[in-house]
Amino acid sequence: MTTKYGDDLHRTTHRRGSKPRASFPAEPHGGWAVHPAVHGVAQVPEMTRSGAALGTNAKYSHKPEFIDPDTGEITGGTPRHDPMASRVQRFAWQATARSILPKSRTAKCLRLRASKQDISVWKSKEHGTASYAGLQTCGSVWSCPVCAAKIAERRRAEIIAAMAAHKGQGGLVSLLTLTTPHQRQDNLGELLAKQAKALHRFWSDRGTKAVFEAMAVLGQIRALEVTHGRNSPQNNGWHPHYHVLVFHDVSGDLDALGEILYLRWAECCKRAGLGEPSRAHGLKLHDGSKAAAYASKWGLEDEMTKGHTKKALHGETPFDFLRAFLADAGDKQAAALFREFAETFKGKRQLHWSRGLKARFAVEEATDEQLANKIEDRAVLLGQISLEQWRSVLAVEGRGHLLQLATVGGWDAVEYYLGSLKPVSKEEGDFHV
């Protein structure tokens, strides 16, 4: 190495010789009959006299293996969940997001028709789950719980495929986490801007480049995540942070390499006006087991879904705000914080692949919106829904429950449900499709 970090790096790297319990309110949907085909199978919420759902429980066996003291992220444990019950919950959260962001694309997502197409229901042969086609989608990984789950699962498949290909060639993947100081009074937009400056300096820094050269880094995948500490003892406000999957060919002493990288990251943070991050939490460089655990949970349809959708220990993720506001309409702070988050993150990329990495591992380029609109190749058409029927479904917020019925009881159950709904005219309510 020709930099002043050369001696340290020579001692810390070497060429590898061989390959190496949560409860959520249900989506209100009005009184509806259960078809005999699904009686005793579909987990239907108990209903009040007025038709509003009392709630459903999504149960988990969760004994955390590790709790990140800085980000509050929980990893480990074994979730138990019904994928379609999770889908019902996500439609409820999406309806909550619509009430907070009434003019957004998310407010129209999976409610309005796409270019006057027919509204249809399809069922996946592989997964056995049902989904809609012919409806507009917003493709927002930030503000839409329904689109976010679908997009995240497909992104997870891309990440895991790239990692498997690299490891199959004898390579390594490590996990780098970058955090910065943050306070209750920080403006989220300003904090993100400063972090972006710090990150740009970090990638351009000679010391960082020297470490990456010693590790023979081929590229990285960077994820932007955020939590908020309003419920934590200190309440340090917004906490955006980065997780980076580093693809490299040379192993080494990650503690020593992490120490060098921390010094460079701390300096970049100070120059960007963020202050100096702590050594304990500012930068962490973990081995392949942590990287694999992180990637394996990206996009999973349970309480450990990654990014802004996952659960946190003391802090809350943005989708936690939707859960909180749905459970308690008096929690105006949750609504305000979600609105601030959605408006600030709009248009930002959740995942960033370094140049050439997707091509290297033959990962197809696809936008979030394209993934949100995609219907699985091995899916069968169950049936179509008329506009009159769809208005009735929207009137009782039954979108999630209709899909649940389609999954467990087929089209007969859906028709039975549709026939039980009260007709709604075009002039009634905000249901124009």
- pLDDT tens digits, residue range 134-177? 999 999 999 999 999 989 888 988 999 999 999 999 999 999 99
pLDDT level of residue 288 (50, 70, 90 thresholds): confident
How many residues are recorded in the chain? 433
The stretches of 187-230 forming alpha helices (DSSP H) are 188-204, 206-214
Burial class (CB in 10 A: 0-12, 13-18, 19+), 94: buried
pLDDT at 368: 87
Phi, then psi, of 14 in degrees rounded to 5: -155, 150
Q: Which residues of 130-168 are buried (b: 16+ CB within 10 A; e: fewer)?
A: bbbbbbbbbbbbbbbbbbbbbbbbbbbebbeebbeebbe
Distance CA 153, CA 332 (A): 31
pLDDT at 52: 31
**Region 47-55: what's the mean pLDDT?**
29
For 73, which DSSP code? B
Q: What is the pLDDT of residues 66-88, one digit of tens each?
A: 444 444 443 444 444 456 678 89
Q: What is the pLDDT of residues 420-431, one digit of tens each?
A: 999 998 777 555
pTM value? 0.79
365-370 CB contacts, 8 Å cutoff, 24+ apart: 366/154, 367/139, 368/139, 368/140, 368/141, 368/147, 368/151, 369/137, 369/138, 369/139, 370/139
- Which of 26-35, 46-55, 304-313, 321-330 has the least mean pLDDT? 46-55
Q: What is the pLDDT of residues 217-261, one digit of tens each?
A: 999 999 999 999 998 888 889 999 999 999 999 998 999 999 999
pLDDT at 218: 96
CB–CB of 101/335 below 8 Å?
no
Return mean pLDDT, the chain: 81
Q: What is the pLDDT of residues 191-218, one digit of tens each?
A: 999 999 999 999 999 999 999 999 999 9
pLDDT at 50: 29
